[in-house]
Structure formats: C-alpha cells, structure tokens
Amino acid sequence: MTGGTGLYLRALLDGLFAGPQRSEEIRTRLRASAERHRPDWLHRLLSRLDPTAATRIHANDQPKLIRAIEVCLAARQPLTDAWQSGRDPLTGFHILRIGLDPPRPQLYLRLNARAEAMFAQGLVEETRTLIATYGDAPPAFDSLGYRQARAVLRAETGIPEAIAATAQGHRNYAKRQLTWFRREPGVHWLPGFGDDPAIAAHATELVEKSL
C-alpha cells in the first residue's frame, strides 16, 4: 500500500469506528458559527470538547474540524473515545512501515513543478468543464488546484498567482503529512524519494529482512 493520506493507512490497520451519521443541521450551524467568530473558532471549540482530537487536526482544516465536533455532539462523547470503541483492526499480517523523508528543498522543488504542470496540462479548462457539468457547489472544488483554478475563472486572480498559491498549498499540506506520519509507530524513515535507486534498494532490503 502506498500513499500520502495517513487516515487511509490508519483505517486499514486500526479500523474505523461506526460513528454517527452526518447531520446537515449541525454542520450548517457550525459553518455559520465559524463565519461569526475568529478564524480559529472551530479549533478552539474542538479543543474544549476533545483536546486530543484537536491536537491531530489542523486549525484550518474546516471539514475535519466540523466532522469531529459533529461526532462529539451527536455521540455525546469525544471523538477520541468514539474512535477507540468498536473498531475492527487488521489481523493476520506483519506490518512494515516505510516513510520517505527527502530533503525539504528538493521536496519543495518537486511540489512547485507539480503545481506548474497542473496548470500547463489544462487544469483551468478541466475546471471550467466540470463546473459546466456539475455546477459550482461540489466540495471537491475546494481542494488544492481546483480552488485556485476556480479563482482564475472568476477573474479573481491570474495564472501566475494561482500557480504560486497552489504550490504553497501543496507545501503546507506536505508539512502536515509529515507531522501526521511522525506520530505513527515504528516507521522506517528513508532520506530520499521513491524513484531514487538507492532508496528503493534500501526499502527492498527492509522488506527482505522483515520476512
């Protein structure tokens, strides 16, 4: 299994809890409350309801903050407590965790190039087509890249500024990914990229030793 989203890995290994169904009423109230208060209001609210969950969710990650608060309110217990109950962890497998930790300057160069390539390969045109097909409301349009492309279509920013904002967003996200995975137990950290032959050889060696 490969990827950069830690929740997928945690869901596979530890299982997910059967949390309460989403409540549009609660979510609407929380969004309205966030608009009325300071930017970190939702994070401060979660810190009171579930301090442990608040340390794991970035203050700017509104969807996750809203879901965590929603669970606290609907289940009448902290998300952390609900997470610990009723999970079905993976059994019968030997788990080997390998993490890639390339030098930060090289990582940022690749992220910057990726942002430029997204726009060069037609992200704005793709976004225009998707909006024409599905409208402007789907939450996916708030994701990195689409958000900035949509700003270009609204004439709120230019292409160079959109590329710069997308690159900055990816760099920030990479920092949060590393913070998340640093908390995972037993990760073998390799100081490079997966396409580096030396790193690939080291990873293969770790796999062979674990068998």
Between 198 and 13, the more confident residue is: 198
Is residue 117 pLDDT above 80, yes or no?
yes
Residue 85 pLDDT? 66
- Beta-bridge partners for 100: 190
The CATH code of domain 97-210 reads 1.10.287.890
Is the domain 16-84 a CATH 1.10.20.140 member? Answer: yes
**Nearest C-alpha neighbor of 46 from the set 78, 76, 18:** 78
Token output for 108 = 């940022």
Give the three-state DSSP class for 209: helix
List, as one string, the DSSP characters of 79-107.
Answer: HHHHHHSS-----S----EEEE---HHHH
Using pLDDT thresholds of 50, 70 and 90, give the confidence band for residue 45: very high
**Structure-token match 């990726």, residue found:** 114
List, as one string, the DSSP characters of 96-161.
Answer: -EEEE---HHHHHHHHHHHHHHHHHTTHHHHHHHHHHHH-S--GGGGSTTHHHHHHHHTTSS-HHH
CA Rg value for the chain: 20
What counts of helices (H) and strands (E) characterise the chain? 11, 2
What residues does CATH 1.10.287.890 cover in the chain? 97-210
What residues does CATH 1.10.20.140 cover in the chain? 16-84
pLDDT tens, residue by residue, 168-209: 999 999 998 898 888 888 999 999 999 999 999 999 999 999
Token output for 80 = 């952390």
